[in-house]
Amino acid sequence: MLKLTISEVAPLIRAREVSPVDLAEAALAEAERRQPTLNSFITIMREQALAQAEEAEESLSRGEYLGPLHGIPIGIKDNIATGGITTTVGTKVLRDHVPDEDAEVVRRCKAAGAIIIGKENLEEFAAGATSNNPHYGAVHNPWNVDHIPGGSSGGGGANVAAGVTFASLGTDLGGSVRLPGAFCGVVGLKQTFGRVSQRGLLVTSFNGDHIGPMTRSVRDSALVLQAIAGYDPLEPSTVPVPVDDYALIMERGVSGLTMGIPSNYYFDLLDPEVEEAVRRAIAALEELGVATREVSVPSMQYAGALRFSSMADSVVTHEPYIASSREDYGPDTLYRTLAGQFVLGRDYSKAMKVQRIIKEEHARVLQDVDFLVTPTTPLPAPRIDADTIDVEGRRQKVRGPGSGHVSRNTSPMNATGFPAITVPCGFSGLGLPIGLQFIARPWEEGNLFRIANAYESVSPSRGVSPNLE
């Protein structure tokens, strides 16, 4: 039952053929069984989850069905506040932090009937692409436990891929939902900035962070976004734009749409196996009736400048913790954070100017095509013990300061705020998943789901799951 998708198990719960209590018990047992192998949780919430499941079952017995998340076991990244439950943000600095109330997305998930079974492991302070946590241990990729699951939402990606949770909420500031999505072979969504409330997201940036779902199917991603999206009057980054009926839009065909294939940047510095898989995916979309147009985004040559603004944001958000608990930081997070104190105001302003130019250029390109297609990551998941990787004869860092190569294709959309989704599109020679990224216009998540769902139906990854036995 745990290998099913939300779309498959929800009708069984509604018909009372599957009990929310039995499903929660199964998910908790699987979480505890896999924890020594995956290390994907920081806190497993057995008592709270079973209480939620019993409440969900009682609601069903009264004829009160809350929707497709009713009785569905999910995970929450441990930098999203849960009232009365420790929320560590993956660091010793906040090891005893217990929020007074749930984050808005957690409240909405509970209102939709979802069962939260635990708080998931992540990179310390959500600052990195590996989920090699120095305090709580490394998260392991269920496709090959010697490899990273991606970060910073690695615990969520591993749990969804391994069939522990049906969905997990992660956070994406530079690709931290889409990177685990690609490396763990699941669907990862970063919706339009302002679509989902960030209230209750801890130690975040002021510019570009998103809370988004990881799921085993595109349809499930749409179901979760439907539940958590919408204006929050207490969160100033949210925008009162109507939330579409994603399930309805997803049923439309894709024949006649045009996809843009960037001629620069996004296809640079690629592992050959990644490029081959993505090119095959583009050919599959063409067979579905999608036209192809090459597009150029020349301003991406300046994309490295975007890191100046994120560095400055980081040092400001960490300032009180560094002042009080510097000795509790892991070295990678501390050193990459401290660098932000050397960013001049002029440099910050230039970075914001580059951000604006890149955003305008993508907006112009997306007037001529319906969506963009890129590789999600430039390589399959590196090994956990890898500090650097070889890229066209040059060593690129995997973690710590200067490790932007892994997220080079995902982080630009955090700067633009445009929606992006990763879908599995094949495997490397070692059997590691490869991800395909679709980028759409702001507020067009429905169109993104429509395209991703159509591709998913012909993807070579469809129906394939990791074997952890």
Is the residue at 348 inside a domain? no
Is the residue at 316 inside a domain? no
Domain that holds residue 239: 6-257+377-456
Q: What's the CA gap between 171 and 460, in Å, rounded?
A: 27
Is the residue at 249 inside a domain? yes
Of residues 176, 237, 310, 411, which has the active-site annotation?
176
Asked if 123 and 243 count as a contact pair (C-beta separation under 8 A), the reply is no
> CA-CA distances (angstroms) from residue 185 to 118, 189, 215, 222, 353?
21, 13, 10, 17, 35
Is the residue at 157 inside a domain? yes
Provide the CB-side half-sphere exposure for 181 (13 A, CA): 37
CATH number of the domain at 409, please. 3.90.1300.10
Query: Coil, strand or helix: which one is 135?
Result: coil
Is the residue at 304 inside a domain? no
* Residue 352: pLDDT band with limits 50, 70, 90: very high
Percentage of the chain exceeding pLDDT 90:
96
Render pLDDT for 181-233 as a digit per residue (tens, 0 to 9): 999 999 999 999 999 999 999 987 878 899 999 999 999 999 999 999 999 99
Is the residue at 440 inside a domain? yes
Tell me what the pLDDT averaged over the chain comes to: 97
Strand partners, 439: 372, 420
* Residue 46: pLDDT band with limits 50, 70, 90: very high
Asked if 315 and 391 count as a contact pair (C-beta separation under 8 A), the reply is no
> CA-CA distances (angstroms) from residue 283 to 181, 422, 449?
22, 17, 19
Cα dihedral: 99, 105, 111, 112 (round 10) = -140
> CA-CA distances (angstroms) from residue 420 to 36, 298, 446?
33, 20, 11
Asked if 263 and 295 count as a contact pair (C-beta separation under 8 A), the reply is yes
* Residue 469: pLDDT band with limits 50, 70, 90: confident
Query: Coil, strand or helix: which one is 366?
Result: helix
Is the residue at 346 inside a domain? no
Q: Which amino acid, one-letter code, is at 221?
A: S
Q: What's the CA gap between 169 and 156, in Å, rounded?
A: 7
Q: What's the CA gap between 141 and 135, in Å, rounded?
A: 18
Determine the Cα angle at 122 with ends 118 and 123, to 5°.
165
Q: How many domains in the chain?
A: 1
Of residues 77, 110, 119, 359, which has the active-site annotation?
77
Q: Is 190 a catalytic residue?
A: no
* Residue 234: pLDDT band with limits 50, 70, 90: very high
Render pLDDT for 100-122 as a digit per residue (tens, 0 to 9): 999 999 999 999 999 999 999 99
Strand partners, 260: 293, 372
Of residues 152, 153, 221, 314, which has the active-site annotation?
152
Q: Tell me the two tokens of residue 39.
A: 């290390």
> CA-CA distances (angstroms) from residue 67 to 27, 208, 251?
20, 30, 19
Q: What's the CA gap between 79 and 340, in Å, rounded?
A: 21
Q: Is 77 a catalytic residue?
A: yes
* Residue 401: pLDDT band with limits 50, 70, 90: confident
Q: What is the mean pLDDT of residues 322-337?
A: 95
Instruction: List the one residue out of 76, 72, 75, 74 whose CA is nearest residue 19.
Output: 72
Q: Is 176 a catalytic residue?
A: yes
Is the residue at 364 inside a domain? no
> CA-CA distances (angstroms) from residue 409 to 47, 180, 275, 313, 378?
40, 13, 13, 21, 7
Q: What's the CA gap between 222 and 219, in Å, rounded?
A: 5
Instruction: List the one residue out of 277, 190, 188 whose CA is nearest residue 459.
Output: 277
Q: Tell me the two tokens of residue 178.
A: 């889409």
Determine the Cα angle at 74 with ends 467 and 92, to 5°.
90
Q: CB neighbours of 360 closer than 8 A, spacing ≥ 6?
A: none
Instruction: Kindly tell me the burial class for residue 288, based on how many C-beta atoms sit within 10 Å of its own C-beta (0-12, 13-18, 19 or more).
Output: middle
